[in-house]
């Protein structure tokens, strides 16, 4: 665990080479962690994939993406049943900031559900020499510039109550194709979605992500800057490889 939080790292069993660097970095920072076995889309019967609709398509068209989504769901279930109030969920293809070891969960916003700490959602919020701070999710989205990639779900803090809200939203359906889009859409309501429609890049990325949360039931979401997690450049996506192989 970290300073008052547990760490779950999602990784396929076959991806030991991908898991080793992040495991070593967490140990270097003195942070205990647990490896969460990711679901390999190759091992899901096609019969079941054809019955599972995600967005406008069925999961047999992108089994790797389905496996990625369900791997996060597995992590949410662990958080929901955990004794820890705060959990950092990581994917195995990230680089960690040395600031992670000093992250103070006692300074987090009251009653938060989720705090994004990845560079794809938070890097643009960092102003030179500014102190660390938490930005409401909608503020972060409004300030997000053009040209950035998808938001990503490679690094986020999830509270125990937040995990239970996500699992309920998942059960109530429908769900999107990508887990990052699903989480983002459940962090806003219809009014907020209307506010980011138009030429803003985030609106285009969320276009097919399914309905937003019901007003008053959305995740209490923040972005933290400076970010604590960054995508490892040049790492081949296992999710995409499985999609391309089997779709």
The pLDDT, as a whole number, for residue 189 is 86
Tell me the average pLDDT of the chain: 87
Residue 115 and residue 109: Cα distance in Å, rounded? 9
Mean pLDDT calculated for residue range 52-67: 88
Half-sphere CA count of 190, side-chain side, radius 13 A? 3
DSSP per position, 25-78? HHHHTT---EEEEPPPGGGS-HHHHTT-EETTEEGGG-HHHHHHHHHHHHHHHH
The pLDDT, as a whole number, for residue 4 is 87
Picking from 19-33, 51-65, 149-163, which range would have the lowest pLDDT averaged per residue? Answer: 51-65
Domains, the chain, ordered by start:
6-246 (3.90.550)
pLDDT, tens digit, for every residue of 182-224? 999 999 888 777 776 554 556 556 666 778 888 899 999 999 9
Regarding pTM above 0.75, the answer is yes
Mention every residue, 6+ apart, whose C-beta is less than 8 A from residue 213.
169, 185, 186, 187, 188, 189, 219
Cβ neighbours around 8 below 10 Å, total: 21
Residue 174 and residue 62: Cα distance in Å, rounded? 17
Strand 229-231 and strand 94-96: pairing?
antiparallel
Task: Please identify which residue in the block is written with the tokens 């958080």.
Answer: 79
The pLDDT, as a whole number, for residue 236 is 67
């Amino acid at each position: 665990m970290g300073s008052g939080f547990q760490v779950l790292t999602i990784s396929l069993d076959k991806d030991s080479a991908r898991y080793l660097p992040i495991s070593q970095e967490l140990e270097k920072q003195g942070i205990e962690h647990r490896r969460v076995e990711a679901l390999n889309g190759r091992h899901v019967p096609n019969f079941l994939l054809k019955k599972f609709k995600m967005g406008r398509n069925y999961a047999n068209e992108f089994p790797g993406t389905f496996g990625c989504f369900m791997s996060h769901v597995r992590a949410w279930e662990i958080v929901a049943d955990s004794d820890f109030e705060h959990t950092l969920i990581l994917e195995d293809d990230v680089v960690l900031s040395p600031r992670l070891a000093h992250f103070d969960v006692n300074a987090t916003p009251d009653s938060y559900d989720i705090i994004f700490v990845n560079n794809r959602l938070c890097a643009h919020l960092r102003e030179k020499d500014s102190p660390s701070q938490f930005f409401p999710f909608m503020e972060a989205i409004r300030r997000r510039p053009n040209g950035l990639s998808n938001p990503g779900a490679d690094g986020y803090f999830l509270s125990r109550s937040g995990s239970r809200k996500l699992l309920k939203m998942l059960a109530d359906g429908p769900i999107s194709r990508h887990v990052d889009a699903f989480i983002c859409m459940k962090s806003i309501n219809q009014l907020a979605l209307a506010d980011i429609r138009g030429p803003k890049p985030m609106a285009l990325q969320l276009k097919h992500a399914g309905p937003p949360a019901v007003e008053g039931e959305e995740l209490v979401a923040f972005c933290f800057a400076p970010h604590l997690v960054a995508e490892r450049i040049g790492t081949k996506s296992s999710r995409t490889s499985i999609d391309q192989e089997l779709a």
